[in-house]
């Protein structure tokens, strides 16, 4: 049995009068590459923010590793975000005055559970893994979008997060850079990293082994896929015919 990372019960989120999450119940499991797909405005980012402690629910309950964090203090949530979760977004949010290498290292240094020695070793290993040897001494403005996003992924995983949250991480990238970032996420998942990816890109969704479809703030479908082993027409067709059910 896979460990349950998150268990949400009847999660509701409202902004003023607008109900954005309509009572979502779900479990997310360790070792899964879970993908949330759905049209723009369906509540994907809102759900990711609620799970990751970046925002609070308006109703329902949320458990993290069995602990009720629905009403956790801001301090507890910030601990989870810093020490237990990793984040990648469409835009990298790298510190513009630091080199890529410094950006990655800094994330390790501010994590309480990592020593300086471990941080340095992990930074070097990630730079090799992300193939950033040539770009590591440059500032974010001086590298390609793909290099910057690879550095952002490295920064997100240096602390060995329980789960990596990725909200449209390829949304601002061209095809080649998208492929590179997706390959990295695939490798990290194969190494055991749990991932929650929000996307409306089919190519990105194909990397997951569990796909949830969100529509108007409710989960209306779920597809189980085998772990990604490379491109396959069968896999693409399986996803495509499932998505047809949602008029995708």
Q: Which residues contact Mg ion by CB under 5 A?
A: 44-45
CA distance 28 to 26: 7
Among 5, 6, 11, 20, binds ligand ADP (CB under 6 A): 20
Residues 6+ apart with CB under 8 A from 238: 223, 225
> If binding is defined by CB under 6 A, does position 237 make contact with ligand ADP?
no
> If binding is defined by CB under 6 A, does position 199 make contact with ligand ADP?
no
Instruction: State in angstroms the smallest separation of the CB of 107 from Mg ion.
Output: 23
Residue closest to 151 by CA, chosen among 103, 205, 116:
103
Residue closest to 166 by CA, chosen among 150, 144, 142, 145:
150
CA distance 213 to 205: 11
Among 25, 41, 142, 237, binds ligand ADP (CB under 6 A): 41
Residue closest to 163 by CA, chosen among 12, 28, 7:
28
Which among Mg ion, ligand ADP, none contacts residue 245 (Cβ within 5 to 8 A by kind)? none
> If binding is defined by CB under 6 A, does position 44 make contact with ligand ADP?
yes
CA distance 177 to 179: 5
Among 46, 123, 177, 199, binds ligand ADP (CB under 6 A): 46
Instruction: State in angstroms the smallest separation of the CB of 44 from Mg ion.
Output: 5
Residue pair 225/205 in contact (Cβ under 8 Å)? The answer is: no
Backbone angles phi, psi at 173, to 5 degrees: -110, 155
Stretch that binds ligand ADP, among 36-44, 58-66, 109-117, 240-248 (CB under 6 A): 36-44
Q: Is 116 helix (H, G, I), strand (E, B) or coil?
A: helix
Rg (CA), the chain: 18
Which among Mg ion, ligand ADP, none contacts residue 131 (Cβ within 5 to 8 A by kind)? none
Among 1, 40, 112, 175, binds ligand ADP (CB under 6 A): 40
Instruction: State in angstroms the smallest separation of the CB of 64 from Mg ion.
Output: 22
Which among ligand ADP, Mg ion, none contacts residue 15 (Cβ within 5 to 8 A by kind)? ligand ADP
CA distance 53 to 87: 11
> If binding is defined by CB under 6 A, does position 17 make contact with ligand ADP?
no
Closest CB to ligand ADP among residues 31, 39: 39
Site residues for ligand ADP per CB under 6 A: 15, 18, 20, 38, 40-46
């Amino acid at each position: 049995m896979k460990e349950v990372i998150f268990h949400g019960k009847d999660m509701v989120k409202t902004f003023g009068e607008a109900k954005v999450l309509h009572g979502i119940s779900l479990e997310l499991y360790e070792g899964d590459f879970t993908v949330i797909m759905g049209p723009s405005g369906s509540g994907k980012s809102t759900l990711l923010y609620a799970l990751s402690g970046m925002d609070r629910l308006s109703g329902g309950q949320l458990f993290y590793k069995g602990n009720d964090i629905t009403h956790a203090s801001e301090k507890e949530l910030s601990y989870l975000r810093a020490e237990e979760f990793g984040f990648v977004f469409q835009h990298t949010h790298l510190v513009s005055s630091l080199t890529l290498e410094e950006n990655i290292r800094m994330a390790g240094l501010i994590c309480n559970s990592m020593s300086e020695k471990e941080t340095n070793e992990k930074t070097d290993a990630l730079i090799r893994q992300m193939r950033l040897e040539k770009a590591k001494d440059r500032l974010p403005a001086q590298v390609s979008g793909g290099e910057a996003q690879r550095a952002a992924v490295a920064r997100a995983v240096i602390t060995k997060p329980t789960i990596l949250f990725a909200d449209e991480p390829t949304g601002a990238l061209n095809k080649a850079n998208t492929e590179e970032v997706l390959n990295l996420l695939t490798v990290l998942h194969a190494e055991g990293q749990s991932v929650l990816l929000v996307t409306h890109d089919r190519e990105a969704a194909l990397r997951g082994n569990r796909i949830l479809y969100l529509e108007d703030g409710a989960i209306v479908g779920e597809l189980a896929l085998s772990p990604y082993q490379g491109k396959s027409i069968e896999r693409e067709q399986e996803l495509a015919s499932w998505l047809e059910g949602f008029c995708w």
